[in-house]
Amino acid sequence: MRGIGVTRTGVERFYMAGTAFDFSSADFRQPFLFHISMESTQSYGWAVYPVTAGTSTIVNYAAVSDVDDQGRMFIAGGVSNGADNWSVVKKLDRTSYFFGSARATLDPDLIPNGYDAATAISFTDATRTRLVVAGESQRNANGATDCTVSFYQIGIDAEDLVLDGAFANGAGYVSTHFTPGVLDSVQCTAVATDGQGRIYLAGSIGFREPHRVYYDTDAVVARLTPAGLLDATFGPNGQGTS
């Protein structure tokens, strides 16, 4: 079991999301959500189910948004059908986690059947009717990845999730190559927007070996324009590393 996303609701309550592994079933993976209350010694975990029907399995659940005034949140990650991978955003209800009807997927497929997954998620403003999601998308056979950014509109009562066609000339998402190096890969693990609609990304960048193993990595922060382009007024080429 691996916890890789956390958010706070109230003063002393936290939610942690991640991936649970069942190695007795061909490395079958499912998401989990865990509620931790600092008000008592008790914590609460939920048994959860795959977000897609059929043979699809959960490969990674990476992030969870803040909780809104109705106790709802959204979780982002990736799923696979054994041949292809795509990113997914799923609504969680306070009383029926992982059973809500709202779900949206994105499969940029920069290469056929390439690896795609969402790795960070955030509300864009106080109204909480729009989500920004960052992820990674495989761009070549060596496993190198680019960062993807997408926006989703949340429908009435959060029952619908749709790509925001007002972003990226109707596509709803962009794919960004951070460096000119052919072998460089980027993984974005945090995303946020400001009042001017600019997009901020943080994560790691480096060279990638086969099977998704990183080495020689640096921390990276980047800013994109509201149109999804690297902002030339922010550091060298819209990004900075350390």
DSSP 64-132: E----TTS-EEEEEEEE-SS-EEEEEEEE-SSSTT--S-EEEE---SSTT--EEEEEEEESSTT--EEE
Q: By three-state DSSP, how is residue 107 classified?
A: coil
* Structure confidence by residue, pLDDT tens digits, 188-204: 888 999 999 999 999 88
DSSP-assigned states of every residue in 2-23: EEEEEEE-SSSEEEEEEEEEET
Q: Which of 126, 88, 92 is nearest to 107 (CA)?
A: 88
Write the CB contacts of 112 (distance below 8 Å, at least 6 apart in sequence): none
Tokens of 187: 């993984």
Residue 17 clears pLDDT 90, i.e. is over it: no
User: What are 46-100's pLDDT values in tens digits?
Assistant: 444 444 444 445 555 556 666 666 666 777 877 777 778 788 777 765 544 444 4
User: What confidence score (pLDDT) does residue 141 get?
Assistant: 82
Q: What is the mean pLDDT of residues 105-122?
A: 84
Determine the residue type at 29. Answer: R
